Amino acid sequence: PFKMTEAKEDTAKEALKERLKFFFSDANVRSDNFMRNKLLKSEGGFVPIEILLRFNSVKCHTTEPKVVVEVAKTLSDILVLNEAEDAIGRVDKFTMDRMDDNIPLSLYVSNLPTEDAKEDDPSSKAKFKITVEELRKPFEGFGTVTYSKLRFKPEKKDGHSDGAPRGKQKWLPAGAGFVEFETKEQLKAAAEETCTVKDGADVEPKTSIEIGGNKVKVITMQEWLDSKKKDKKEGDKDAAGKEKNSPSKRSRDEDSKESKSAKELFNIDWKPRCVISIKGLPEDCDRESLREMV
């Protein structure tokens, strides 16, 4: 039977070590629903090794549970095995309050090259013309890039989402992506050198980044999120202003005022021991008749 040489086995173990570090990292667990659910919902926060061996980037290096155990033991500062040594967990347990911890560690990179679907080919799809590896590579000189991700957006028809369930929506490349660093210091160094937007204004970066033939735009993820919130708030104000000045809104307001006035006109000021009850009134008796009577 085929036996891996010692050199190849060591290389495979090193590659497997990197995979395990990545799969259990904060950066991956935040974005990987499967791993997050396994860690949060399983007893003790462990992921069975048999499940990890189904991952393509794990089984391409080994199909032996004992090899995974051996490699996991070399990462004892961040990973822990259960008592049976058939599942792996994190030393520092992941909690949901860490879900936004990537924001102060990340850059938002836009103007990435994309390619539209071909109209004469029904099977073709819109896609990025770069890979996540190409996205992260220009930033690796500033520190350890723990995660990089290309951003997609749901297809819109007539300016609106197509309304399909999330799993059946058609997703298109947004021409942007995220690059996450290991520390805030690394993010700061990268931002100072490459950002093309600072404090809401376009600036000339010290180092211009080109990816896939495009000169990209770079902004911190925090500033990008803040600008989105600001745009939404202003958009909501504009929409409210248009609604306020619309004929239908004015008509509703006038109707409301008339209704309110009518209610105030018929308002009765009830006072203790000043109310009488009258019985035997004819059916055609109205309020004005009562007022004349008393």
Distance CA 244, CA 4 (A): 74
Whole-prediction pTM value?
Answer: 0.72
Task: Over range 254-279, report the average pLDDT.
Answer: 55
The mean pLDDT value of the chain amounts to 86
User: Residue 278 — very low, low, confident or very high, per pLDDT cuts 50/70/90?
Assistant: confident
Is there a contact between 111 and 194 (Cβ–Cβ < 8 Å)?
A: no
State pLDDT tens for residues 29-49: 999 999 999 999 998 999 999
Measured in degrees and rounded to the nearest 5, phi and psi for residue 11 equal -65, -45
Is there a contact between 22 and 35 (Cβ–Cβ < 8 Å)?
A: no
Distance CA 222, CA 105 (A): 9
DSSP H helix total and E strand total for the chain: 11, 15
State both tokens at 112.
């990435």
Please determine, for residue 294, whether its predicted confidence score (pLDDT) is greater than 60: no
3-state secondary structure 147-184: EEEEEEEECEECCEECCCCHHHCCEEEEEEEEEEECCH
In this predicted model, which residue has the larger pLDDT, 45 or 288? 45
> CA 138 → CA 86, 133, 146, 179, 188, distances in Å?
39, 9, 14, 10, 15
Please determine, for residue 234, whether its predicted confidence score (pLDDT) is greater than 90: no
Please determine, for residue 169, whether its predicted confidence score (pLDDT) is greater than 80: no
Task: Over range 79-93, report the average pLDDT.
Answer: 97
